[in-house]
Every structure is written in structure tokens, then in C-alpha cells.
Amino acid sequence: MQFIKDIFIFLNDALLKMTWLQDIVNSILKGVIRVSETSYLYKALSFFFYDVIKIFILLSVLIYISSYIQSHFTPERTKKILTKFKGLPGNIIGALLGTVTPFCSCSSIPIFIGFTKAGLPIGVTFSFLISSPLVDLASMILLASIFGWPIALAYVMVGLIIAVIGGTIIDKLHMEKYVEDFVTQGMNQNGEIEIEEQTRKERHQYSIGQVREVITKVWVYILIGVGIGAIIHGYIPQNIIETVLGDKNPFSVLIATIVGIPMYADIFGTLPIAEALVLKGVGIGTVLSFMMAVTALSLPSIILLRKVVKPRLLGLFVFIVTAGIIITGYLFNLFGYLFI
């Protein structure tokens, strides 16, 4: 058993955490660029270059894998799957399908519109809309590379629970009437669906295209996120961070959630900031609340969602997700030690 555990730790360090990459970056900084190991600049540059390279390597591989999986779930096949389930099972399937779509909140809204036009129950579509930006294969692996598998798996479970509960509440309250009329016009409830099978080569080409598309969309946010994380890690004193966002501040989760909402990025851009905050002593629950607020409740996505749903449904959506994020943050701060 110990042998298997040692192999897992070795593979985790080599493939996910890429400790060898950290050693290379540090060697170049010290031996080639000759930056003092005790300086703030060294800490910031080490954090920046290591995280940027690691995230782009992992992201490219993981987006390819998740896109290859996603290629099996065309809109037609997805509709055919989801129409078989109603109520809570449908919401669970909708949330799980959100995990195979590497989209930010704004990118998920057009798919939400397509599902609604296809006649899927509103609870299912909202479970998908909540889970898609919060949880996917790539984010889970990247979380594991930074915080470890227990935190990554717990985060995924919490994201799915929020998505399922949110979709269930919206479904039970019969909020269909608060979707804008242009979305529901031409809804297709019936009809046979023809599913075109892709060849292995077509799936490969689709996956490569998705890697290019996603990297093109997120590279700026990754650089900004890692840059902010590097500044936090290298230059901002730990006592300041702990005063504002530390465990001794009972409002730290609320502050992190409120700060995260106006921002627009996906989880790949927020992870480096989260990593730097944890290294500065911020509670894991506070950090996860910040990440969730940025990815699921960013102001641009709320504005875009308002174009397709009426204020009452939008308000309910924001309330459910915000409440879920805040509760999650406090629970992780209380019991996070169990996962570390």
C-alpha cells in the first residue's frame, strides 16, 4: 500500500504540481538572472513564471481531454439525454453535464438559451448554467495541482450541490414565465433528433480547435491573475492580508464574495490569486468564496443574463448562488482543516 501511495505522490508532484518546473525556474532566477533569493522580486518572479508555465501546460492538455469528451455530447445528443430525466434527476444530470463544458459564465448563457429553446425544463437549464462556469475537468485538475485532491474534490461536490439546489428551487417555483419571450419563442418540445457521429480525426480537430479558442479567450486573464498573485505573494505583507481576509475577521467571506462579483475572469485566472492568498494565510473557505463569486456571479455575466431572463428570476438566481457561496465559505473555514 505504501508503494502505491509513493507512486501516486511522485506522479502528483511530477505531473500536476510540476515541482521540477519550480526548481528550473528558481535555478534560472538565481544562476542566470542572478536575483537575490531573499528579495521580494525573487518571490514575485518565481511565483509568476512557475504559475504561468504550469497553468498553460495543464490547461492545454486538460482542455483537449475535456473537449474530446464533450465532442460526444452534441446539442442534439444532450437534449436527447436530458429529455429522459425530469425533476431532481434531471437537475443532477444538467449539473453533471456542466462539468464537461470548459466555459466561463458568459459563454454558458448562449447554451442556456439553446437548451431553453429545445424545451428542456428550466430547473435543468439553470443547474447547467450554475455548474458550467464553476466546475469542469480542467479546473478540478488545476485545483488539485495547487491545493491537493481533497480540496479539489470537495470544491467540485459543493459546486454541483449548489447547481442542483439552485435548479431545483427555480423549478419548484415555476419560474418559466420569467424567461424573456424571445428565448421561449420557437421552442421545440418534440421531434426526432438526428445525431451525426464524428470520426476520431474530427474529434481530434475539434479538441485542438477548442484548445486554441479557450487559450485565446483566457490568456490575458491568466497573465493578469498570475501577476496579481505574484504581487500579493512577493510584496504585500502577510499581516495586512490576514487583517482583511484572515480567520479573525468574521466578515472575510462576505468581503471576498463582494470583491469577486465585479471582476470578470474564469477559474483559470482566479486560481493564481487564490494560491497567493492561501500562501499568505487566508482561510481556504474565504479563497473559494472569492473564486466562486468571480466565476459564477461576475458582473458582465449578470448583465448578459438579464437580457434573457426577467428581474425576478435574475434576482432569485443571484440570491441562491450568493447564499450558496457564502455558506460554502464559512463551512470550509470551519472544517477546511479536514481536507488539508
pLDDT, tens digit (0-9, with 9 covering 90-100), for 156-168 = 898 899 999 999 9
Q: Which three cell numbers stand for residue 151?
A: 480540496
Average pLDDT over residues 110-121: 73
Q: Which amino acid is at 264?
A: Y
Tell me if residue 197 falls in helix, strand or coil.
Answer: coil
Question: For residue 90, is it within any domain?
Answer: yes
Residue 237's Cβ-count burial label (10 Å; 0-12, 13-18, 19+) is exposed
pLDDT averaged over the chain?
79
How does pLDDT run across 56-94, given as a tens digit for each residue?
888 788 778 777 877 776 656 666 666 777 778 888 888
Does residue 197 fall inside a structural domain? no
- 186 in any annotated domain: no
Residue (of 105, 100, 111, 158) closest to 130 by Cα position? 105
What would the grid cell of residue 152 be? 479539489
Answer yes or no: is 190 within a domain. no
Q: Is residue 78 part of a domain?
A: yes
Q: Is residue 36 part of a domain?
A: yes
Which pLDDT value is given to residue 197?
66
User: What's the distance, CA 69 to chain centroid?
Assistant: 18
Q: Is residue 133 part of a domain?
A: yes
- Report pLDDT digits (tens) over 91-108: 888 888 777 665 555 556
Predicted local confidence at residue 228, as pLDDT: 84
What's the pTM value of the predicted model, to 2 decimals? 0.73
More confident residue, 124 or 79: 124
Maximum Cα–Cα distance for the chain, whole Å?
A: 68
pLDDT in tens, 182-217: 766 655 544 444 445 678 888 888 889 878 887 887
Q: Which of 2-11, 141-150, 203-212, 230-239 has the lowest mean pLDDT?
A: 2-11
pLDDT of residue 193: 44
More confident residue, 127 or 65: 127
Q: What is the pLDDT of residue 194?
A: 46
Dihedral angle sign, alpha carbons of residues 95, 98, 100, 104 = negative
Residue in this structure with the C-alpha cell 420557437, named with its chain if needed:
186
pLDDT number for residue 65 = 79
pLDDT at position 296 over 70: yes
For the chain, how many structural domains are there in total?
A: 1
**Per-residue pLDDT averaged across 3-31, rounded?**
80
Q: Would you say 193 and 328 are in contact if contact means Cβ atoms under 8 Å apart?
A: no
Query: Which pLDDT score, from 0 to 100, does residue 27 have?
Result: 92
pLDDT in tens, 139-154: 788 788 878 888 888 8
Range of the domain at 55: 2-181+202-339
In a domain, 32, yes or no: yes
pLDDT given at position 164: 92
Q: Which of 9-18, 27-36, 74-83 has the highest mean pLDDT?
A: 27-36
Task: Give φ, ψ of 195 to 5 degrees.
Answer: -110, 120
Give the whole-angstrom CA distance, residue 278 versus residue 314.
32
